[in-house]
Amino acid sequence: MLKELKVFLPLAEGLKVHKPSLEILNHMAVKDGQLLFTDLENWLSIPVADERNYTLPIELIKEILKSRPAELSITIRKGNQLELRYGRNTVVCHFMDAADYTPPLPKERQRRIGVWTGAMIRRMRKQLRHASRDELKPALQGLWVRQSGARVSSCATDGHTLEYMHSLDPAQEGEISADFEGILPPKCLKILSKLRLARATVMAGPEYIQFRLPHYVQLSSRLIHESYPDFETILNGPMPHELALPKAALAQAVAASLPFANKATRLARLKLQNGTIRLLTRDPERELAFGTEIEHAGHAAKALEIGFNLKLLEKTLASLPGEQILWKYRDEHSAQLFCARDE
């Protein structure tokens, strides 16, 4: 049990809800040969050599493991009391009824959809910087993932910026066993990204996705069943005009403009005319105006003047690989697409 607790506790802490409304969510459970933990949306489990049923307070186990015990014995006493012995120390605590603990795995038929590499999972986790933090928009909090043919693609958006990855596995080091489309909850990706995984087998059903991890750990997460924005219509729509830009030049112009922009709105105008690009800001409150020119390559077919939130533009540029970017657009009333030049 001690070995399993050392593996399990850091993962359980990642799932733990701050000040949960149910006391049992402060406990792990030992139930029918499994060590379990849940936040009611995600479930962790690992096999243990203990067929008894009881719960373990997370904070208590955390304190015990801080002393790096060589062994740990657990005895059930009368009155729902546990006796935990480690080294020369003994702790007695109350435990709850494990029968009330939420089952760790959903009772639905799941199929193997493939193997995701650690690099794929880390790319997914990184995309969450473009997802929403608004609890009233659950779909936008998650990561949309589609697995089809030989490609796994993903999208994250907060409604203001959107990042789409055409392929999460360009080297095709993972494995695709079946098609899949769903919205992954952010918490499961955050936990998985901390494990420095090489690979994880992935199972999926109508309601849940499950990851089979080292040390026989399983993480099951409820998929987000909400409508996701139709971003593909935007990405696949006509954008007849494009301009090649050095990413560093645009990033430097944004950084230079930020101190002079209005602190509340961070707004700027990007003006493209006669082969010249200018980034302009104005702050009436401080009676400040600022402008800078941006180096670019190529010629845009259509003049454009459009407003940007500088912080969002900065975040967009930071997520793009490579030294050159393509700015694609139709007009000032449509979405603007920034992508790496080789994509």
Identify the bridge partners of residue 71 per DSSP, sorted by sequence position: none
Residue ending a domain, choose from 231, 249, 275: 231
74 and 162 both lie in a single domain = no
Residue 105, in any domain of the structure:
no
pLDDT of residue 210: 94
Residues 44 and 104 sit within 8 Å (Cβ to Cβ): yes
Task: Categorize the per-residue pLDDT at 272 as very low, low, confident or very high, splitting at 50, 70 and 90.
Answer: confident
**CA-closest candidate to residue 152, choices 115, 111, 204:** 115
How far is residue 179's CA from residue 151's CA, in Å, rounded to a whole number? 10
Identify the bridge partners of residue 251 per DSSP, sorted by sequence position: none
pLDDT of residue 130: 92
Please enumerate, as own/partner, the contacts of 197-200 that have beta carbons within 8 Å and a separation of 24 or more.
Answer: 197/117, 197/118, 197/121, 198/117, 198/118, 199/115, 199/116, 199/117, 199/118, 199/174, 200/115, 200/116, 200/118, 200/121
Give pLDDT tens digits for 135-176.
Answer: 999 999 999 999 998 899 999 999 888 999 999 998 889 999
How far is residue 246's CA from residue 271's CA, in Å, rounded to a whole number? 17
| Per-chain mean pLDDT for the chain | 88
126 and 69 both lie in a single domain = no
* pLDDT greater at residue 61 or residue 339: 61
Ranges 24-28, 96-100, 152-156, most confident: 152-156
33 and 134 both lie in a single domain = no
Residues contacting 18, CB < 8 A, separation 6+? none
Q: Is the pLDDT assigned to residue 278 strictly greater than 60?
A: yes
How far is residue 242's CA from residue 327's CA, in Å, rounded to a whole number? 5
**CA-closest candidate to residue 222, choices 141, 157, 153, 167:** 141
Q: Lowest mean pLDDT of 113-122, 170-179, 284-293, 325-334, name the range.
A: 325-334
| Mean pLDDT to the nearest integer, 215-226 | 93
pLDDT of residue 301: 54
Residue 125, in any domain of the structure:
yes
Q: Return the residue matching tokens 């997520």.
A: 319
Residue ending a domain, choose from 231, 246, 263: 231
pLDDT of residue 105: 57
146 and 243 both lie in a single domain = no
Domain count, the chain: 3
175 and 79 both lie in a single domain = no
Task: Categorize the per-residue pLDDT at 1 as very low, low, confident or very high, splitting at 50, 70 and 90.
Answer: confident
Residue 208, in any domain of the structure:
yes
- Determine what percent of the chain is predicted with pLDDT higher than 70: 95
CA distances from 273 to 34, 277, 304 (A): 66, 7, 7
| Mean pLDDT to the nearest integer, 42-58 | 92
115 and 53 both lie in a single domain = no
Residues 258 and 266 sit within 8 Å (Cβ to Cβ): yes
Task: Categorize the per-residue pLDDT at 62 as very low, low, confident or very high, splitting at 50, 70 and 90.
Answer: very high
| Mean pLDDT to the nearest integer, 29-35 | 92
Give pLDDT tens digits for 181-210.
Answer: 999 999 999 999 888 889 999 999 999 999
**CA-closest candidate to residue 138, choices 15, 229, 230, 18:** 229
- Cα angle vertex 185, ends 108, 317, to 5°? 145
Task: Categorize the per-residue pLDDT at 326 as very low, low, confident or very high, splitting at 50, 70 and 90.
Answer: confident
220 and 140 both lie in a single domain = yes
115 and 193 both lie in a single domain = yes
Domain that holds residue 324: 237-340
Residue ending a domain, choose from 179, 210, 231: 231
**CA-closest candidate to residue 167, choices 192, 191, 145, 193:** 145
123 and 222 both lie in a single domain = yes
Residue 106, in any domain of the structure:
no
Residue 115, in any domain of the structure:
yes
Assign residue 52 the CATH number of its domain. Answer: 3.10.150.10
Residue 203, in any domain of the structure:
yes
Residue 205, in any domain of the structure:
yes
pLDDT of residue 339: 85
| Mean pLDDT to the nearest integer, 77-94 | 92
Give pLDDT tens digits for 281-311.
Answer: 999 999 889 999 887 656 555 777 888 899 9
pLDDT of residue 65: 94
Tokens of 252: 């430097």
Residue 333, in any domain of the structure:
yes
Q: Is the pLDDT assigned to residue 35 strictly greater than 90?
A: yes
126 and 219 both lie in a single domain = yes
Task: Categorize the per-residue pLDDT at 107 as very low, low, confident or very high, splitting at 50, 70 and 90.
Answer: low
| Residue 19 backbone class (left: φ over 0; alpha: ψ -120 to 50; beta: rest) | left
223 and 148 both lie in a single domain = yes
45 and 116 both lie in a single domain = no
